[in-house]
Structure 1
Amino acid sequence: MESLLPHLLWGLLFLCADLTEGLTITSKQGMETKAQGEKITLFCQYTLTAQDNSPLDIEWFKVEPNEEKAVILYNERVYDTYLMAGRVQFVNQNPAAGDASIEISNLKVADTGTYQCKVKTFPGIETYRVQLAVFEKPSRTQCHVEGLHEVGNDLTLKCKSQEGAALINYHWKKIGGTEELPARSSLNEVTGELLVKNASQVFSGVYKCVASNRVGTDECSVVLNITPSTNRAGTVAGAVIGTLLGLLLLAFFIFCCCKKQREKKYEKEVHHDIREDVPPPKSRASTAHSYIGSNRSSLGSMSPSNMDGYTKTQYNKVPSEDFERTSPQNPNFQPPKVAAPNLSRMGAIPVMIPAQSKDGSIV
């Protein structure tokens, strides 16, 4: 009896409403949450009385802060070329039969808002509102591991969704084996990071990350293979030695190139060097002319008696340079003096030379 009492009370209320007000919307929906790309049905069911015999008018609006945008209308026919053209329709092909519910497909984040159903028939008018929230579910989730996959190292398994509404939670789990996370691990559900300290080979396996929000989930997986640690000291030493050898080879190559360049430059300078301090060779013609001139000046200072020996000399023969180089020259040699009578007989013309003082002035 107690369970039937609430139903009887609701029945009495609806009956009173029918007798007093006539038109009544019976749907009670409240808040609806959906994912982007899905579809939803917004309910608007109503009842009529015998007094509601005038033409029926049904209107769906999206209520904005300062205005109402039409979504779909019915007044003896359907009008759906408004805000969501092509994505909205009445669930019942005849909305006048008591069901004005609509279906919206391919939901978008921009569809989030408050929707109002208004049913009008003289003399009654009833309205009903429902809240719709459209979110983007996680997608394009990627997993990877940071750190060396060696025993004793600290590793971080990372998980991140490239798309999706805010407030995404991340959860890691191991696939196969015990399916439990390592005891020395810690999870950050907000960032999706799973920190594993002092890894051992028993941690090897496949790990899956699940990203979820209020409208959907997405997941990814990664393989963790822990291997024995390597000799890091030997690896570092080998790398250092290899680097030094490479630097030495590079330095030797640069040295050889510079040396070869200097040798080429030196050969080029020696090849084009012109020595200007070497005098040109003496010509035989100039030697001959100087020799003949000197003999003529000597003949001019001799008397006819002294020229008998020179008349027999052949002047057309030019002495060689060897003779000039080997002929001795006496620094104390003085040419013979010729007396004035002899000079007159030889045709010389006397010339008076003015006397000069010691400072060079004419007396």
Structure 2
Amino acid sequence: MELSFVRFCCVLLSFIAGLVAGLEITSTGSTSIEKASGESVKLDCQFTLAPQDSGPLDIEWSLLSSDNRNEDKVVILYSGDRAYENYYDPMKGRVHFNAADPKNGDASIVLTGLRSADSGTYQCKVKKAPGIRSRKMLLIVMVKPTKPRCYIEGLTHEGKDITLKCISKEGTNPLRYNWDRITGSNILPASTFEDPVTGTLNVKNASASASGTYRCTARNRVGTDDCTLQLKVAPPPNTAGIIAGSIIGVLLFLLIIAIILFCCCRARHRKKYEKEICNEIREDVPPPKSRVSTARSFTVGSQRSSLGSMSPSNLHEYALKPQYDKIPSSEEFERPPSHAPLPPPSGARMAVPNLSRMGAIPVMIPAQNRDGSIV
């Protein structure tokens, strides 16, 4: 009984060993490849079949997802003695089987025109019932550093700290920068400090001996590029002269502003003065002609007094003098003295005793000058 059981175990192990010795992937190259963008790469996947592998042959290349929540993307497929090379749109026209007939044992593929998005882990899976085998390869597509830009920060004067900078806008990390001087002794000054990660070169307490042409080289594992710049360390400027010039310039600027303000104020004052003069001229009109009304009232009053003091016999004589019968108009009143009416003749006046005997009341009449004003 024990012998039979041992024999059964041996047969079972032999059968399992036969299955294991069936389909095998024989590629033994590196499973990690680094390539530059734009280049081509071959992902190797060689296999062998055993007589017991009698099923249909299926070859599948897929780009494994870095996140378990996303599905793997099938890149190229061979099934039913037919290759499906345009299966994955982002790699359409850029991925092919290396062999014209992969069933002969070559499942390798070729990727052309590499892009940074092509980076990832690829899996080659070969199926032929009852055997199935797979192989994984890591592809890293690196971008070559673009031409870096070199520039200087800080004043290039003696005794100052000068910083030379170098930066490449594109390039797959890790990027490294290296500075060297290509003129003179081709050796960096002893007072310099270089940072290969940031691409800076600090020159402490620069002197004239630090002048020259410097070159910066940016590199990674797939390419290099460089740039150059000219450094000229000059003597320090005349600080006192600069300060004096600055002060003079500020004073001139303030003087110009003061002149402009003075001119503006003067023009404003002149405009205001002209406006006031104009208003005074407009308001200087003749006053009301009060003398006319005064003369009229006086003439009327004097005439009434004269008429009241005259007897009926003298009224007829007074009525004969038309120049004293009406109130002079304003035009007649303003007429020059040469045109003023003459006073009545002395003979027409009545004596005061005669008027008293007639019952008249003596009235004192104010004297007048030639233009009719009361004296």
Q: TM-score, normalised by structure 1?
A: 0.75
Residue 230 in structure 1 maps to residue 247 in structure 2: no
Which amino acid is the alignment partner of residue 60 of structure 2? E
Q: Return 131-140 or 110-119, whichever deviates more.
A: 131-140
| Closer, same or farther: CA 115–312 of 1 in aligned 2, 3 Å | closer
- Map of 1:279 onto structure 2: 287
State the alpha-carbon separation in 2 of the partners of residues 136 and 236 from structure 1.
51
Residues 203-242 of structure 1 correspond to what in structure 2 (within 5 A)?
203-242=210-249
Residue 21 in structure 1 maps to residue 38 in structure 2: no
| Closer, same or farther: CA 237–19 of 1 in aligned 2, 3 Å | same
Deviations 1:241-285 (A, max 9, x none): 11210221121112112211210121012112244796234566x
Extract unaligned runs of 5+ from structure 2: 1-16, 344-351, 361-375
State the alpha-carbon separation in 2 of the partners of residues 175 and 70 from structure 1.
52
Alignment partner for residue 74 of structure 1, among 57, 78, 85?
Answer: 78
- Map of 1:197 onto structure 2: 204
- Map of 1:133 onto structure 2: 140
Residue 342 in structure 1 maps to residue 347 in structure 2: no
State the alpha-carbon separation in 2 of the partners of residues 320 and 51 from structure 1.
155
Instruction: Give 1:341 shift.
Output: 7.8
- Map of 2:152 onto structure 1: 145
Deviations 1:196-237 (A, max 9, x none): 012222222221112223333332221112223321221221
| Closer, same or farther: CA 94–115 of 1 in aligned 2, 3 Å | same
- Map of 1:58 onto structure 2: 59
| Closer, same or farther: CA 130–308 of 1 in aligned 2, 3 Å | closer
- Map of 1:39 onto structure 2: 40
- Map of 1:158 onto structure 2: 165
Alignment partner for residue 273 of structure 2, among 249, 257, 266?
Answer: 266
State the alpha-carbon separation in 2 of the partners of residues 278 and 320 from structure 1.
16
Please tell me whether the aligned partners of residues 21 and 124 of structure 1 are also in contact (alpha carbons under 8 angstroms): no
- Map of 2:348 onto structure 1: none
Residues 82-161 of structure 1 correspond to what in structure 2 (within 5 A)?
82-83=87-88, 84-161=91-168
Which amino acid is the alignment partner of residue 57 of structure 1? D
Please tell me whether the aligned partners of residues 171 and 189 of structure 1 are also in contact (alpha carbons under 8 angstroms): yes
State the alpha-carbon separation in 2 of the partners of residues 288 and 255 from structure 1.
57
- What is the CA RMSD across the aligned residues, in angstroms? 3.4
| Closer, same or farther: CA 55–305 of 1 in aligned 2, 3 Å | closer
State the alpha-carbon separation in 1 of the partners of residues 117 and 252 from structure 2.
65
Q: Percent of counterpart pairs with the same letter? A: 43
Instruction: Give 1:238 shift.
Output: 0.7
Residues 243-254 of structure 1 correspond to what in structure 2 (within 5 A)?
243-254=250-261
State the alpha-carbon separation in 2 of the partners of residues 296 and 47 from structure 1.
160
Instruction: Give 1:296 shift.
Output: 2.1
Which amino acid is the alignment partner of residue 288 of structure 2? P
State the alpha-carbon separation in 2 of the partners of residues 90 and 203 from structure 1.
58
Please tell me whether the aligned partners of residues 311 and 358 of structure 2 are also in contact (alpha carbons under 8 angstroms): no
Instruction: Give 1:340 shift.
Output: 11
Which amino acid is the alignment partner of residue 27 of structure 1? S
Q: Return 186-195 or 30-39, whichever deviates more.
A: 30-39
User: Which protein has the bigger helix share?
Assistant: 2
Which amino acid is the alignment partner of residue 287 of structure 2? P
State the alpha-carbon separation in 2 of the partners of residues 316 and 288 from structure 1.
15
SS at match of 2:76: strand
Which amino acid is the alignment partner of residue 109 of structure 1? S
- Map of 2:10 onto structure 1: none
| Closer, same or farther: CA 205–96 of 1 in aligned 2, 3 Å | same
SS at match of 1:116: strand
Instruction: Give 1:132 shift.
Output: 1.7
Instruction: Give 1:315 shift.
Output: 4.4
Please tell me whether the aligned partners of residues 303 and 342 of structure 1 are also in contact (alpha carbons under 8 angstroms): no
Which amino acid is the alignment partner of residue 78 of structure 1? A
| Closer, same or farther: CA 305–112 of 1 in aligned 2, 3 Å | closer
SS at match of 1:229: coil
State the alpha-carbon separation in 2 of the partners of residues 24 and 312 from structure 1.
165
- Map of 2:347 onto structure 1: none
Please tell me whether the aligned partners of residues 77 and 87 of structure 2 are also in contact (alpha carbons under 8 angstroms): no
SS at match of 2:233: coil
